[in-house]
Amino acid sequence: MYSYRKKLIVKSQKPIFVLVIKFLLMKIRFSVYFMLLILLVSCSTGKKALQKGDYFSAVSKAVERLKTAPENKNAIKVVEEGYPMTLEWSQEEMDLILSSNSAFKWEQAVGLMKQVNQLSDAIRSTPAARKIISNPKTYSSELNMAVEKAAEARYNAGLAELEVKTHESARNAYDHFAKANQYVVNYKNSRELMATAKEIATLRVVLQAIPVNTQRYRLSSEFFYNQVFEYLNNQFRTSGFVNFYSPFQAEKEKLANPDFIVDMEFFDFSVGNVIRTEKEENLERKVKIETRDSTRTETKTYKAKMKIFSDQVLSGGSLRVRIIDHANDKIMSDEIVPGSFTWVNEYAMFVGDKEALDNKQLELTKRKALPLPPEQDLFIEFTKPIYSQVTQNLNRFFRRFN
Protein backbone atom coordinates (compact mmCIF):
# COMPACT_ATOMS: atom_id res chain seq x y z
CA MET A 1 0.00 0.00 0.00
CA TYR A 2 2.79 2.40 0.89
CA SER A 3 4.72 1.66 -2.27
CA TYR A 4 1.64 2.21 -4.40
CA ARG A 5 1.00 5.69 -2.88
CA LYS A 6 4.65 6.59 -3.38
CA LYS A 7 4.41 5.74 -7.05
CA LEU A 8 1.33 7.89 -7.39
CA ILE A 9 3.10 10.87 -5.80
CA VAL A 10 6.07 10.53 -8.09
CA LYS A 11 3.86 10.29 -11.14
CA SER A 12 1.90 13.37 -10.16
CA GLN A 13 5.09 15.44 -9.68
CA LYS A 14 6.56 14.70 -13.13
CA PRO A 15 4.07 16.68 -15.29
CA ILE A 16 4.31 19.69 -12.95
CA PHE A 17 8.10 19.72 -13.37
CA VAL A 18 7.76 19.55 -17.15
CA LEU A 19 5.28 22.42 -17.16
CA VAL A 20 7.62 24.57 -15.09
CA ILE A 21 10.49 23.93 -17.50
CA LYS A 22 8.29 24.77 -20.49
CA PHE A 23 7.11 27.96 -18.81
CA LEU A 24 10.67 29.07 -18.13
CA LEU A 25 11.72 28.30 -21.69
CA MET A 26 8.80 30.33 -23.04
CA LYS A 27 9.81 33.29 -20.85
CA ILE A 28 13.41 33.11 -22.06
CA ARG A 29 12.28 32.84 -25.67
CA PHE A 30 9.91 35.78 -25.28
CA SER A 31 12.69 37.84 -23.71
CA VAL A 32 15.04 37.05 -26.61
CA TYR A 33 12.37 37.98 -29.17
CA PHE A 34 11.62 41.17 -27.28
CA MET A 35 15.31 42.16 -27.16
CA LEU A 36 15.68 41.43 -30.88
CA LEU A 37 12.60 43.52 -31.62
CA ILE A 38 13.98 46.44 -29.59
CA LEU A 39 17.34 46.12 -31.38
CA LEU A 40 15.65 46.00 -34.78
CA VAL A 41 13.52 49.06 -34.05
CA SER A 42 16.55 50.91 -32.66
CA CYS A 43 18.61 50.16 -35.77
CA SER A 44 15.80 51.06 -38.19
CA THR A 45 15.31 54.42 -36.51
CA GLY A 46 18.96 55.36 -37.07
CA LYS A 47 19.77 55.77 -33.37
CA LYS A 48 22.85 53.56 -33.59
CA ALA A 49 24.16 55.37 -36.69
CA LEU A 50 23.73 58.72 -34.95
CA GLN A 51 25.77 57.54 -31.98
CA LYS A 52 28.58 56.62 -34.39
CA GLY A 53 28.51 60.06 -36.01
CA ASP A 54 27.10 58.79 -39.31
CA TYR A 55 24.73 61.73 -39.53
CA PHE A 56 23.30 61.39 -43.03
CA SER A 57 22.64 57.68 -42.61
CA ALA A 58 21.08 58.21 -39.16
CA VAL A 59 18.64 60.92 -40.22
CA SER A 60 17.80 59.12 -43.50
CA LYS A 61 16.90 55.93 -41.61
CA ALA A 62 14.85 57.88 -39.09
CA VAL A 63 12.91 59.69 -41.82
CA GLU A 64 12.30 56.38 -43.61
CA ARG A 65 11.02 54.94 -40.33
CA LEU A 66 8.60 57.84 -39.88
CA LYS A 67 6.97 56.99 -43.21
CA THR A 68 5.54 53.78 -41.70
CA ALA A 69 5.53 54.73 -38.01
CA PRO A 70 4.86 58.50 -37.66
CA GLU A 71 4.68 58.31 -33.85
CA ASN A 72 7.94 56.39 -33.35
CA LYS A 73 9.68 58.20 -30.49
CA ASN A 74 13.20 57.02 -31.34
CA ALA A 75 12.88 58.15 -34.96
CA ILE A 76 11.44 61.52 -33.91
CA LYS A 77 14.31 62.05 -31.48
CA VAL A 78 16.94 61.15 -34.12
CA VAL A 79 15.47 63.65 -36.59
CA GLU A 80 15.18 66.39 -33.93
CA GLU A 81 18.74 65.94 -32.68
CA GLY A 82 20.45 64.53 -35.76
CA TYR A 83 19.38 66.96 -38.49
CA PRO A 84 20.98 70.08 -36.89
CA MET A 85 24.14 68.00 -36.27
CA THR A 86 24.09 66.92 -39.93
CA LEU A 87 23.95 70.51 -41.19
CA GLU A 88 26.66 71.59 -38.78
CA TRP A 89 28.95 68.74 -39.84
CA SER A 90 28.21 69.42 -43.52
CA GLN A 91 29.20 73.08 -43.21
CA GLU A 92 32.44 72.18 -41.41
CA GLU A 93 33.23 69.60 -44.09
CA MET A 94 32.44 72.09 -46.84
CA ASP A 95 34.82 74.66 -45.33
CA LEU A 96 37.59 72.05 -45.14
CA ILE A 97 37.05 70.99 -48.76
CA LEU A 98 37.04 74.48 -50.23
CA SER A 99 40.08 75.59 -48.22
CA SER A 100 42.13 72.64 -49.54
CA ASN A 101 44.47 72.67 -52.57
CA SER A 102 42.75 69.71 -54.22
CA ALA A 103 42.48 70.22 -57.99
CA PHE A 104 38.95 68.83 -58.03
CA LYS A 105 37.66 70.13 -54.69
CA TRP A 106 34.51 71.49 -56.32
CA GLU A 107 33.49 67.94 -57.22
CA GLN A 108 33.59 67.03 -53.54
CA ALA A 109 31.56 70.13 -52.75
CA VAL A 110 28.96 69.18 -55.37
CA GLY A 111 28.70 65.69 -53.87
CA LEU A 112 28.16 67.07 -50.37
CA MET A 113 25.54 69.59 -51.52
CA LYS A 114 23.63 66.90 -53.39
CA GLN A 115 23.65 64.76 -50.25
CA VAL A 116 22.12 67.61 -48.24
CA ASN A 117 19.50 68.18 -50.97
CA GLN A 118 18.58 64.49 -51.07
CA LEU A 119 18.00 64.53 -47.32
CA SER A 120 15.92 67.68 -47.70
CA ASP A 121 13.77 65.98 -50.36
CA ALA A 122 13.23 62.98 -48.08
CA ILE A 123 12.11 65.20 -45.18
CA ARG A 124 9.78 67.30 -47.33
CA SER A 125 8.12 64.16 -48.74
CA THR A 126 7.51 62.68 -45.25
CA PRO A 127 4.71 64.49 -43.33
CA ALA A 128 5.86 63.29 -39.89
CA ALA A 129 9.42 64.48 -40.57
CA ARG A 130 8.19 67.76 -42.02
CA LYS A 131 6.40 68.53 -38.74
CA ILE A 132 9.78 68.31 -36.99
CA ILE A 133 11.88 70.11 -39.64
CA SER A 134 9.55 72.56 -41.35
CA ASN A 135 12.19 74.22 -43.53
CA PRO A 136 15.03 71.79 -44.43
CA LYS A 137 18.11 73.31 -46.06
CA THR A 138 18.46 73.06 -49.85
CA TYR A 139 21.39 74.19 -51.97
CA SER A 140 20.27 75.80 -55.21
CA SER A 141 22.31 78.71 -56.56
CA GLU A 142 25.32 77.48 -54.55
CA LEU A 143 25.04 74.06 -56.20
CA ASN A 144 24.81 75.58 -59.69
CA MET A 145 27.93 77.62 -59.02
CA ALA A 146 29.78 74.58 -57.65
CA VAL A 147 28.81 72.49 -60.69
CA GLU A 148 30.14 75.21 -62.98
CA LYS A 149 33.41 75.33 -61.02
CA ALA A 150 33.74 71.53 -61.15
CA ALA A 151 33.26 71.54 -64.94
CA GLU A 152 35.82 74.34 -65.32
CA ALA A 153 38.43 72.43 -63.27
CA ARG A 154 38.01 69.31 -65.40
CA TYR A 155 38.08 71.32 -68.63
CA ASN A 156 41.34 73.04 -67.67
CA ALA A 157 42.87 69.72 -66.63
CA GLY A 158 41.93 68.30 -70.04
CA LEU A 159 43.60 71.21 -71.85
CA ALA A 160 46.78 70.67 -69.84
CA GLU A 161 46.85 66.95 -70.71
CA LEU A 162 46.31 67.66 -74.40
CA GLU A 163 49.43 69.82 -74.43
CA VAL A 164 51.57 66.77 -73.54
CA LYS A 165 50.57 65.11 -76.85
CA THR A 166 50.99 61.45 -75.95
CA HIS A 167 48.50 58.57 -76.14
CA GLU A 168 48.31 58.34 -72.37
CA SER A 169 47.89 62.09 -71.76
CA ALA A 170 45.26 62.29 -74.52
CA ARG A 171 43.36 59.46 -72.85
CA ASN A 172 43.46 61.39 -69.56
CA ALA A 173 42.33 64.51 -71.41
CA TYR A 174 39.36 62.59 -72.85
CA ASP A 175 38.29 61.53 -69.35
CA HIS A 176 38.55 65.12 -68.05
CA PHE A 177 36.50 66.56 -70.92
CA ALA A 178 33.92 63.78 -70.50
CA LYS A 179 33.48 64.67 -66.82
CA ALA A 180 33.26 68.37 -67.62
CA ASN A 181 30.51 67.50 -70.10
CA GLN A 182 28.69 65.49 -67.41
CA TYR A 183 28.62 68.46 -65.06
CA VAL A 184 27.60 70.99 -67.72
CA VAL A 185 26.39 69.63 -71.06
CA ASN A 186 28.92 70.62 -73.76
CA TYR A 187 30.78 72.90 -71.37
CA LYS A 188 32.52 75.39 -73.65
CA ASN A 189 33.68 73.05 -76.47
CA SER A 190 34.22 69.92 -74.34
CA ARG A 191 32.51 67.56 -76.82
CA GLU A 192 34.70 68.76 -79.67
CA LEU A 193 37.79 68.36 -77.51
CA MET A 194 36.66 64.86 -76.48
CA ALA A 195 36.73 63.88 -80.15
CA THR A 196 40.16 65.44 -80.58
CA ALA A 197 41.52 63.67 -77.50
CA LYS A 198 40.07 60.34 -78.62
CA GLU A 199 41.68 60.66 -82.04
CA ILE A 200 45.10 61.17 -80.43
CA ALA A 201 44.59 58.57 -77.70
CA THR A 202 43.40 55.74 -79.95
CA LEU A 203 45.95 53.05 -80.78
CA ARG A 204 45.78 51.64 -84.30
CA VAL A 205 46.84 48.04 -84.73
CA VAL A 206 47.33 46.26 -88.05
CA LEU A 207 46.72 42.52 -87.88
CA GLN A 208 48.64 40.90 -90.70
CA ALA A 209 48.84 37.20 -91.45
CA ILE A 210 51.51 35.52 -93.50
CA PRO A 211 49.81 33.02 -95.88
CA VAL A 212 50.80 29.36 -95.62
CA ASN A 213 52.92 28.14 -98.49
CA THR A 214 50.59 25.26 -99.37
CA GLN A 215 47.58 26.14 -101.51
CA ARG A 216 45.31 23.42 -100.07
CA TYR A 217 45.51 24.89 -96.56
CA ARG A 218 45.26 28.52 -97.59
CA LEU A 219 41.49 28.76 -97.19
CA SER A 220 41.65 27.10 -93.76
CA SER A 221 44.41 29.39 -92.54
CA GLU A 222 42.53 32.44 -93.82
CA PHE A 223 39.46 31.22 -91.95
CA PHE A 224 41.55 31.09 -88.76
CA TYR A 225 42.97 34.59 -89.29
CA ASN A 226 39.49 35.99 -89.96
CA GLN A 227 38.18 34.41 -86.75
CA VAL A 228 40.94 36.09 -84.71
CA PHE A 229 40.28 39.43 -86.43
CA GLU A 230 36.54 39.15 -85.79
CA TYR A 231 37.13 38.30 -82.13
CA LEU A 232 39.36 41.35 -81.58
CA ASN A 233 36.90 43.67 -83.29
CA ASN A 234 34.10 42.35 -81.07
CA GLN A 235 36.21 42.82 -77.93
CA PHE A 236 37.54 46.25 -78.91
CA ARG A 237 34.78 48.39 -80.36
CA THR A 238 35.54 51.47 -82.43
CA SER A 239 34.18 53.54 -79.54
CA GLY A 240 37.17 52.38 -77.47
CA PHE A 241 40.82 53.35 -77.62
CA VAL A 242 42.25 50.36 -79.53
CA ASN A 243 41.21 49.80 -83.15
CA PHE A 244 42.25 46.84 -85.30
CA TYR A 245 42.74 46.92 -89.06
CA SER A 246 43.35 44.32 -91.70
CA PRO A 247 46.13 45.18 -94.21
CA PHE A 248 43.42 45.94 -96.77
CA GLN A 249 41.62 48.33 -94.40
CA ALA A 250 44.90 50.00 -93.41
CA GLU A 251 45.74 50.59 -97.07
CA LYS A 252 42.24 51.84 -97.85
CA GLU A 253 42.37 54.34 -94.97
CA LYS A 254 45.98 55.27 -95.82
CA LEU A 255 47.21 54.22 -92.39
CA ALA A 256 50.92 54.58 -93.04
CA ASN A 257 52.04 54.69 -89.39
CA PRO A 258 50.11 52.27 -87.19
CA ASP A 259 51.06 52.07 -83.53
CA PHE A 260 51.40 48.28 -83.44
CA ILE A 261 51.65 45.46 -85.96
CA VAL A 262 50.60 41.93 -85.06
CA ASP A 263 52.29 39.30 -87.23
CA MET A 264 50.82 35.78 -87.35
CA GLU A 265 52.43 32.87 -89.19
CA PHE A 266 51.79 29.11 -89.18
CA PHE A 267 54.88 26.97 -89.41
CA ASP A 268 56.12 23.44 -88.81
CA PHE A 269 52.63 21.96 -89.25
CA SER A 270 51.67 18.52 -90.39
CA VAL A 271 48.15 17.43 -91.35
CA GLY A 272 46.67 14.02 -92.07
CA ASN A 273 49.23 11.57 -90.72
CA VAL A 274 47.36 8.27 -90.70
CA ILE A 275 48.08 5.47 -88.24
CA ARG A 276 46.17 2.18 -88.57
CA THR A 277 46.42 -0.61 -86.01
CA GLU A 278 44.85 -4.03 -85.64
CA LYS A 279 44.59 -6.07 -82.48
CA GLU A 280 43.25 -9.61 -82.03
CA GLU A 281 41.75 -10.87 -78.80
CA ASN A 282 40.55 -14.30 -77.74
CA LEU A 283 37.51 -13.86 -75.56
CA GLU A 284 36.13 -16.35 -73.09
CA ARG A 285 33.24 -15.84 -70.72
CA LYS A 286 31.78 -18.31 -68.24
CA VAL A 287 28.13 -17.97 -67.27
CA LYS A 288 26.26 -19.91 -64.58
CA ILE A 289 22.81 -21.08 -65.64
CA GLU A 290 20.14 -22.96 -63.73
CA THR A 291 18.89 -26.35 -64.87
CA ARG A 292 15.27 -26.69 -65.88
CA ASP A 293 14.27 -28.21 -62.57
CA SER A 294 16.17 -25.38 -60.66
CA THR A 295 17.84 -27.95 -58.44
CA ARG A 296 21.36 -27.15 -59.54
CA THR A 297 23.43 -24.75 -61.71
CA GLU A 298 25.69 -25.46 -64.63
CA THR A 299 28.57 -23.39 -65.99
CA LYS A 300 28.52 -22.64 -69.69
CA THR A 301 31.57 -21.25 -71.50
CA TYR A 302 31.23 -18.84 -74.44
CA LYS A 303 34.18 -18.21 -76.74
CA ALA A 304 34.87 -15.74 -79.52
CA LYS A 305 37.76 -14.28 -81.48
CA MET A 306 37.67 -10.52 -81.91
CA LYS A 307 39.71 -8.18 -84.12
CA ILE A 308 39.77 -4.47 -83.22
CA PHE A 309 40.72 -1.88 -85.83
CA SER A 310 41.84 1.64 -84.96
CA ASP A 311 42.25 4.48 -87.46
CA GLN A 312 43.98 7.62 -86.19
CA VAL A 313 44.73 10.81 -88.10
CA LEU A 314 47.27 13.07 -86.39
CA SER A 315 47.48 16.79 -87.13
CA GLY A 316 49.38 19.59 -85.45
CA GLY A 317 51.47 22.68 -85.81
CA SER A 318 52.42 26.02 -84.30
CA LEU A 319 51.55 29.66 -84.78
CA ARG A 320 54.10 32.39 -84.21
CA VAL A 321 52.60 35.65 -82.97
CA ARG A 322 54.69 38.81 -82.76
CA ILE A 323 53.54 42.21 -81.51
CA ILE A 324 55.75 44.97 -82.91
CA ASP A 325 55.89 48.61 -81.83
CA HIS A 326 55.91 50.24 -85.25
CA ALA A 327 57.46 53.55 -84.11
CA ASN A 328 60.77 52.00 -83.08
CA ASP A 329 60.44 48.54 -84.66
CA LYS A 330 60.68 46.99 -81.20
CA ILE A 331 59.27 43.51 -80.62
CA MET A 332 56.95 43.77 -77.62
CA SER A 333 55.94 40.11 -77.60
CA ASP A 334 57.08 37.01 -79.46
CA GLU A 335 55.21 33.76 -78.75
CA ILE A 336 54.96 30.34 -80.35
CA VAL A 337 51.60 28.71 -79.67
CA PRO A 338 51.30 24.97 -80.43
CA GLY A 339 48.16 23.00 -81.19
CA SER A 340 47.22 19.44 -82.07
CA PHE A 341 44.23 17.28 -82.94
CA THR A 342 43.81 13.52 -83.26
CA TRP A 343 40.88 12.05 -85.16
CA VAL A 344 40.08 8.50 -83.97
CA ASN A 345 37.72 5.83 -85.26
CA GLU A 346 37.58 2.35 -83.67
CA TYR A 347 35.54 -0.58 -84.94
CA ALA A 348 35.66 -4.37 -84.64
CA MET A 349 34.51 -7.71 -85.98
CA PHE A 350 34.24 -11.12 -84.31
CA VAL A 351 33.57 -14.76 -84.91
CA GLY A 352 32.16 -17.11 -82.31
CA ASP A 353 29.69 -16.62 -79.49
CA LYS A 354 28.13 -13.19 -79.14
CA GLU A 355 27.68 -13.83 -75.40
CA ALA A 356 31.47 -13.75 -74.95
CA LEU A 357 31.51 -9.98 -75.62
CA ASP A 358 30.84 -7.31 -73.02
CA ASN A 359 28.74 -4.22 -73.83
CA LYS A 360 31.69 -2.06 -74.92
CA GLN A 361 33.06 -4.76 -77.22
CA LEU A 362 29.62 -5.35 -78.66
CA GLU A 363 29.27 -1.63 -79.38
CA LEU A 364 32.57 -1.68 -81.32
CA THR A 365 31.26 -4.43 -83.58
CA LYS A 366 28.35 -2.18 -84.59
CA ARG A 367 30.72 0.45 -85.89
CA LYS A 368 32.16 0.55 -89.38
CA ALA A 369 35.21 1.97 -91.11
CA LEU A 370 34.70 5.66 -91.90
CA PRO A 371 36.23 7.79 -94.64
CA LEU A 372 39.05 9.98 -93.37
CA PRO A 373 38.08 13.65 -92.77
CA PRO A 374 39.20 16.29 -95.29
CA GLU A 375 42.59 17.80 -94.55
CA GLN A 376 41.13 21.32 -94.53
CA ASP A 377 38.85 20.30 -91.65
CA LEU A 378 41.76 18.73 -89.79
CA PHE A 379 43.73 21.96 -90.17
CA ILE A 380 40.87 23.92 -88.59
CA GLU A 381 40.57 21.39 -85.75
CA PHE A 382 44.22 21.59 -84.69
CA THR A 383 44.05 25.40 -84.75
CA LYS A 384 41.14 25.55 -82.25
CA PRO A 385 43.33 25.35 -79.11
CA ILE A 386 45.72 27.81 -80.77
CA TYR A 387 42.83 30.22 -81.37
CA SER A 388 41.81 30.13 -77.68
CA GLN A 389 45.29 30.93 -76.41
CA VAL A 390 46.13 33.54 -79.05
CA THR A 391 42.91 35.52 -78.55
CA GLN A 392 43.34 35.48 -74.77
CA ASN A 393 46.95 36.69 -75.06
CA LEU A 394 46.11 39.50 -77.51
CA ASN A 395 43.12 40.55 -75.44
CA ARG A 396 45.27 40.72 -72.30
CA PHE A 397 48.04 42.70 -74.02
CA PHE A 398 45.84 45.39 -75.60
CA ARG A 399 43.22 45.61 -72.82
CA ARG A 400 45.52 47.85 -70.75
CA PHE A 401 45.42 50.50 -73.51
CA ASN A 402 41.64 50.51 -73.74
- On whether residue 37 sits in a domain, the answer given is no
When pLDDT is cut at 50, 70 and 90, the band that residue 10 belongs to is very low
pLDDT in tens, 93-152: 999 999 999 999 999 999 999 999 999 999 999 999 999 999 999 999 999 999 999 999
Nearest Cα to Cα of residue 114 among 83, 89, 146, 82: 146
The DSSP string of 24-72 is HHHHHHHHHHHHHHHHHHHHHTTHHHHHTT-HHHHHHHHHHHHHH-TT-
Q: Are strands 203-210 and 242-245 parallel, antiparallel or unpaired?
A: parallel
What are the pLDDT digits (tens) for 256-274? 899 999 999 998 888 889 9
Same-domain status, 367 and 294: yes
Residue of 293 and 148 predicted with greater confidence: 148
Statement to judge: residues 164 and 194 lie in one domain: yes
In a domain, 22, yes or no: no
- Asked whether residue 318 falls in the same domain as residue 387, the answer is yes
pLDDT score of 39 more than 70: no
What's the number of domains the chain is made of? 3
Is residue 130 classed exposed, middle or buried when 0-12, 13-18 and 19+ CB atoms within 10 A define those classes? Answer: middle
**Residue 253 predicted with pLDDT over 60:** yes
Distance (Å, rounded) from C-alpha 209 to C-alpha 224? 10
28 assigned to some structural domain: no
The model's pTM: 0.70
At position 258, the amino acid (one-letter code) is P
- Flag whether 232 is in a domain: yes
Co-location of 357 and 392 in the same domain: yes
Least confident span in 2-6, 166-170, 385-389, 395-399: 2-6
Alpha helix ranges (H) inside 189-283: 190-201, 218-235, 247-252
Q: Mark whether 77 and 161 lie in a shared domain.
A: no
User: pLDDT tens for residues 355-395?
Assistant: 999 999 999 999 999 999 998 899 999 999 999 999 999 99
- Which residues, in sequence order, are CB contacts of 372 under 8 Å at separation 6+? 272, 274, 311, 313, 343
Instruction: Report the alpha-carbon distance of residue 220 to residue 98 in Å, rounded.
Output: 65
Tell which phi-psi region holds residue 14, choosing left (phi > 0), alpha (psi between -120 and 50) or beta: alpha
Cα–Cα distance, 5 to 8 (Å, whole number): 5
Say how many residues make up the chain.
402
3-class DSSP assignment, residue 215: helix
